Amino acid sequence: MVQFNFSGDVVMFEIEGHLGVRDNHLFIGGVDAVDLVGEYGSPLFVTNEERLRENYRRYQRAFPDTDVYYAAKANGNLTILRILAEEGAGADVFSGGELYMALLAGISSDRILFNGNSKTDQELRYALQTGVRVSVDSLDELKTLASFARETGKVAEIAFRVNPDISPKTHPKIATGLSTSKFGIPYTQVIEAYDTAKRIEGVKPVGIHCHIGSQIIELTPFVETVNRMMDLVEQIDRLGVKLEFLDLGSGLGIPYKKDEHVPTPEDLADAILPVWSERSDAIGVHPRMILEPGRYITGDTTVLLTRVNLVKEAHKRFVGVDAGFNLMIRQAMYGAYHHVLLANKADLPPMGLYTIAGPICESGDILAHDRELPPVEKDDIIAVLDVGAYGFSMSSQYNGRPRAAEILISHGRPYVIREHETVCDLLAKQTLPPHLL
């Protein structure tokens, strides 16, 4: 979602209503990125509320008769969840912590699906207590959940998560629907699972669930998934199990690279809704569709601002910054690409190749390789784009580095939605045994 326009020697950069350039500085939601670093310090995650709301609304407009459950793992900040709750989003949660945050943000329990391949007993009891639906990942989990339900006199509404054995053509570490994946029950075994569930006291099968992966930029796997899942819906209906919903997960990618063609929610709707309608009518079963977008909703809403500590001529021209893979692990983990630019020299033409390196004691701590940038100097501000999904949510305190603050831009005004950690936070929950005091 980045547009570059070249006019002579000047590089112009703008995303209407989100990012722009004024007086040579990058502006986020109408606020000067350089001023933000001056006021709140560096490194800094900056999220534009207007962009977040519009991304959700675009998905909902493309699928007006579908329940959109935000994938909380993408970015679980309470403010983000609260904004999406206001927009009417449900939530796909993957832990007791994400469930707690979703409820605290105001998302109704009847619009939450508790997903996960290895839930603890404590988490299953919490799901029963809060009345959320559970996506059951195995027969072992089914038996455990049913026993807890009987103990408390409750009935757990469930779906089974299906492993549909479909290749999403994405990075292997984020492909979750392959036959070799740890997630779900193989589609060849799931009918038997529903037959078992309908006879077990304490559970009620009301849905079916799958998710084939993340950052998917082709539509064919989604269409294949709809067909395979509707095959299962038809067979499950013959068992006398009436499914209220079919959760297709999500995984629609975003364009991290310049000129990268990625389908929109509208493209996805045009591809799968006719198939969905045709298959539903043919078998006479019309479950509610649920989708679980995460990256599309939050990915391009956020910029990571990081200050230059030094420029070093070595094998390459390295730019050392104060943010590393402790804050943005996607590059090290997935080889992911993110656009970078100089927030304080946003209109200047590129003059050389630079590799942006973080301060972590790992050779893989590189935020960007060989990028054309204007002349970079100490104290310049690097902006790393499209970090709203799996940015802060995957961050850590590795190397004893406190995590960054998060700022929300709302109607041209910045708000701190997470404070900078300090060294005191590194010691939180640590204790010395008496013999070391």
Residues acting as catalytic residues = 361
Nearest to 211 by CA among 93, 334, 46: 93
* Neighbour count for residue 199 (Cβ, 10 Å): 7
Instruction: Give how far the C-alpha of residue 180 lies from the chain's centroid of Cα atoms, to the nearest Å.
Output: 22
Query: What CA–CA distance (Å, rounded) separates 13 from 117?
Result: 42
Query: What CA–CA distance (Å, rounded) separates 428 from 76?
Result: 21
Are 384 and 340 in contact by the 8 Å Cβ rule? The answer is yes
Which residues, at least 6 apart from 237, have a Cβ–Cβ distance to it below 8 Å?
A: 243, 283, 285
* Neighbour count for residue 290 (Cβ, 10 Å): 23
Query: What CA–CA distance (Å, rounded) separates 269 from 265?
Result: 6
Token code pair at residue 53: 């709301």
Cα three-residue angle 284-289-291, rounded to 5 degrees: 155
Helix (DSSP H) and strand (DSSP E) numbers for the chain? 12, 23
Nearest to 252 by CA among 232, 271, 275: 271
Are 309 and 64 in contact by the 8 Å Cβ rule? The answer is no
Can you name the residues that pair with 306 across neighbouring β-strands? 382
Are 351 and 10 in contact by the 8 Å Cβ rule? The answer is no
Is the previous residue joined to 43 through a cis bond, with omega within 30 degrees of 0? Answer: yes
Instruction: Give how far the C-alpha of residue 217 lies from the chain's centroid of Cα atoms, to the nearest Å.
Output: 15
* Neighbour count for residue 38 (Cβ, 10 Å): 11
* Neighbour count for residue 278 (Cβ, 10 Å): 12
Query: What CA–CA distance (Å, rounded) separates 406 from 170?
Result: 29
Q: Which residue has the tokens 């029950």?
A: 185
The amino acid that residue 411 corresponds to is H
Are 299 and 2 in contact by the 8 Å Cβ rule? The answer is no
